[in-house]
Amino acid sequence: MKSNAKNIFILILLISGIAWSCKSQPEVTHEPVTEEESVSVARPAFSADSAYYYIYKQVEFGPRVPGSEAHEQCATWLSNVLEDFGAEVKVQTTTVTTADKKKVPCYNIIGTYNPGAKNRILLGAHWDTRPWADQDNQDVDKPIDGANDGASGVGVLLELARQLKNKGTDLGIDIIFFDVEDSGLPNVEDSYCLGSQYWARNLHVAGYTASKGILLDMVGAANATFTLEGTSMQIAPDFMRSVWNIAHQLGHGKYFQFRQTAPIIDDHLYVYRYTRIPMIDIIHYDATTMSGFGKYWHTHNDNMSVIDKATLQAVGETVLAAINNL
């Protein structure tokens, strides 16, 4: 892109005012949401140290902007790690057109456990990073590290995969790292979540389905709060409440809050729209910001300094316990 056109493009991003991504600005609703009956939950083995390391390794490649060298290198690394952890790995490769009319490679990286099992759960996170720091006040046209927005969900799922290798499971589990989630533009319909849109329309296995799904997005920041996100509550309210109950039984109630927030657009929406797999979104909500996502969101401050092991532990234990209780 020529420099003048690029400057105009960045100016449009800035003029848009509030923070934009595939997620709309979430506002708290006034619908009362109550905790369900307690369930007996065993605390699973999960290492926040390992999850933190996997986040660090992704960030070390540099911003994973589709089409970049860091993107290619990280894709190879993610595939290799999943294979090392006993998954049957398939990389779904295509080319997509982003909102700014660029054609970029898209790699949906899929790790499967117990492929013959009929009872399956889908676990997902996006692994690409935002090509612009459109919520920053400097270096706006440069990509971000995406330690929390991208790498954190992947890091938790990689540690979960390591635990699956160690402990085993009879459940069919599919881990999908969705690509090209964060290259959209404000007011351009369906310009976010391009990887999940492609996967949901072109399943990696003909007729694939799962009974439930969990999406992890921005799950690593200190003192993060995860509310009952509105789209998830429309798609799978009972499952979402059961996961939150498990979090409370494990002592993670300060992170998983029983209050409903407005619907957002994220990978789980497209998964449900095209496959009818009921997928919930565990995603950070920050009521103190206009965006609802944290002051570092889509800025160069989304780096390793925002990642907190206590949050990773809470999310990892909750997801793994939820799987163990299916």
Report the pLDDT averaged over residues 136-156.
98
Domain that residue 189 falls in: 3-324
Q: State mean pLDDT over 231-236.
A: 98
Give the span between the Cα atoms of 313 and 309, in whole angstroms: 6
Please write the tens of the pLDDT for every residue from 6-36: 343 433 443 343 333 455 545 555 444 555 5
Question: pLDDT at position 38, please?
Answer: 60
Q: What is the pLDDT of residue 326?
A: 87
**Gap between the Cα atoms of 171 and 326, Å rounded:** 8
User: Contact 230/25 with Cβ under 8 angstroms?
Assistant: no
How many domains does the chain contain in total?
1
- Terminal C-alpha separation, the chain: 49
Once rounded to an integer, what is the mean pLDDT over residues 81-102? 97
Q: Which of 229, 249, 226 is nearest to 315 (CA)?
A: 226
Note the pLDDT of residue 20. 39
Per-residue pLDDT of 55-81, as tens digits, reads 999 999 999 999 999 999 999 999 999
Q: What is the CATH number of the domain that holds 266?
A: 3.40.630.10
Which residue bears the tokens 């006040």? 137
Extract the tokens encoding 124. 């997902």
* Predicted pLDDT at 36: 54
What single string gives the DSSP state of each residue in 25-79?
PP-B-------------PPPP--HHHHHHHHHHHHHT----TTSHHHHHHHHHHH
Q: Which amino acid is at 250?
A: L
Q: Reply yes or no on whether the pLDDT at 5 is more than 80.
A: no
Residue 60, CB-side half-sphere exposure with 13 Å CA sphere: 8
pLDDT digits (tens, 9 = 90+) for 260-286: 999 999 999 999 999 999 999 999 999
- Answer yes or no: pTM beyond 0.85: yes
The C-alpha atoms of residue 307 and residue 166 are separated, in whole angstroms, by: 25
The predicted pLDDT at position 40 comes to 79
